[in-house]
Structure 1
Amino acid sequence: MINNTEVQELNGWLKAVANSRCKIAFTHLFKFFAPKIQRIARSKFTNEAQAHEAVQETMSNVWRKAHLFDADKGAATTWVYTVMRNVIFDLLRKMKSNREDNLSDDIWPIAESTVSDDDIYEDHLENKKLLHGIESLPEAQQQVVKGFYLMEMSQEQLATHLNLPLGTIKSRLRLALSKLKVQLGEDHD
């Protein structure tokens, strides 16, 4: 349970972020809320990366929208947890409608238990067409697709390797997959 002093301290830090974009106050808020958000997000998502994304998105929204906080309407904890709830709902909705995982199945043919010479040749042509499609993408998208599918790196590993935000990696991958799908034709659904 949070005592009155902590409530006032949290409210003060959130106001400092809102009024003067105070990074020190934001650091305090992050240290206080991140573990709690992470714990809640773990119960809502199937993997650690999704829970981590919920923390990052929530705290990013806290930074951007701190000016909307009104201490007269409620405590900082209530406001931050409301931001978190909305982020989690958005991420769950996005996951449900996002076909990114299914698109990966569209790109790489699944080998069947019995493989004929015709199947091997067809797969070869398909892979050649796919690799040509990847090579025609912009360099930034090529890096992400090759890292994710050919080098089998996770999106978080790619973000670290390329020194880019996770959201940028996801956006580039989604855009690249959409372009590849168009290039390869709709018969690959």
Structure 2
Amino acid sequence: MVTLGDLTNKGSYLLGVMGCKYVNVEQLDLLKERLEKAEAYTKYAGTISVFSKKKETAENLIKMSETISKIKEPVVLYYKSCSTIESLMKLANAIDVLRKWSEPNSQVSTKEAADAFDTLSGALAAIIRKLGSAVPIVGQYALIFEEISKNRFFSNYYKIANPETRGNSSDWAAIKQADDAFKP
């Protein structure tokens, strides 16, 4: 039986082999976007130049666009692979924290669990977004999980609900009032 630890170790190994461990995924995404724009702009310029008297310039711009496209292909593949592996690693780590938190006499604090739920939501959003194009309705869930993660829903709720951090928060009073209204 494969355990979560095995997956985490294999994921770390994959990250190292692919070099993803040493690449900032956000920078890779930025490179991908800039290559896409460069390809589109040079293709557009080449298309427009066809109508000028400089046919050689138009041909060179279109060839440049094709070359940029060839450069972009492995960057896009590498970006997709690294971002997927990174999302899966975050998901596995968050699940591991939550598993430990649910055990009796856990050393994992409720705050750490709240942070793990936020991380889990972000990782799920990223994975679902990748699957969303195959099953459009699934993509809608990515938006929900993304907002939960972006707004740190669980961490913020922990701050409000935790007696040590909430103080006399008006948010807590509103939550308590709403909760009391639904009690039988």
* TM-score normalised by structure 1 residue count: 0.30
Quick check: which has more Rg, 1 or 2?
A: 2
* TM-score normalised by structure 2 residue count: 0.31
